[in-house]
Amino acid sequence: MKKLYLIILILILIFCSGFNVTISYQPNVDKIEAVFKSALPKECGIIYTKVPRGLIISIDEKCFFNEGEARIKESSLYILDTIASLLHTLPNYCVVEDHTENNNFENSDYKENWELSMSRSANIVEYLVKYKNLPNWQLFALGFGEFMPFRDNVAAINGMDKRIDFVIIEYEAKR
């Protein structure tokens, strides 16, 4: 009986102290995911992850780049064009994050994964702004190199450590 009184007292203190217990549901993220899933090709092995900041669309970086290079493959431009056309319809910010590791830098202009990673994400943002006319305020480029692996943390498959993440931000952000 003492435990019941203790629980009731704790609940009263929590609610009287102004502590808010809320469950955040983002219906817009579900809609955005459905739009991207219907438009992007299935053969790219895309992983969709809902997180508090919005939706992460992860695509294997082999679709976009050759090893050790930051030049976007022409064969991947249709994916970027599709993403651009979808972003044109959204008011959301998009963070383009590159994650790369274990690159062979023998014949490369780069010496570190983080350096290559930043160049890759910047090249994607530049393409989207310059050739697809997305507003530059809508896009951010980040390069994480090997410092944020996917591994078993998110997906059952142990892969996608080398990936491009398109993070569709679903909250108010200011630059």
C-alpha–C-alpha distance, residues 40 and 146, integer Å:
26
| 70, 120 Cβ separation under 8 angstroms | yes
9 domain-assigned: no
53 domain-assigned: yes
- For the stretch 115-118, contacts whose Cβ atoms lie closer than 8 Å and that sit 24 or more positions apart, written own/partner, are 115/143, 115/145, 116/68, 116/70, 116/143, 116/145, 117/143, 117/144, 117/145, 118/142, 118/143
| 59, 46 Cβ separation under 8 angstroms | yes
Where in the sequence is the domain holding 153, given as residue range(s)?
23-169
175 domain-assigned: no
Instruction: Give CA 13 to chain center in angstroms.
Output: 39
* pLDDT on residue 147: 79
Per the DSSP assignment, residues forming a β-bridge with 96 are 141, 166
100 domain-assigned: yes
155 domain-assigned: yes
Token code pair at residue 121: 């994400």
Token code pair at residue 85: 């056309």
**Radius of gyration over alpha carbons of the chain, in Å?**
20
C-alpha–C-alpha distance, residues 54 and 32, integer Å:
9
Q: Which helix or strand (DSSP H or E) is residue 2 part of?
A: helix 2-16
* Structural domains of the chain, count: 1
14 domain-assigned: no
31 domain-assigned: yes
Q: Which helix or strand (DSSP H or E) is residue 61 part of?
A: none
136 domain-assigned: yes
Q: Which helix or strand (DSSP H or E) is residue 35 part of?
A: helix 27-39
* pLDDT on residue 171: 73
* pLDDT on residue 6: 58
* pLDDT on residue 89: 94
C-alpha–C-alpha distance, residues 65 and 33, integer Å:
24
Q: What is the pLDDT along the chain (175 residues), one digit of tens a residue?
A: 666 655 665 656 555 555 444 444 567 899 999 999 999 988 777 999 998 889 999 999 899 999 889 999 999 999 999 999 999 999 999 999 998 887 777 777 888 888 999 999 999 999 999 999 999 999 999 998 877 766 555 544 556 778 899 999 987 655 5
DSSP state of 164: E
CATH for 68 = 3.30.1330.60
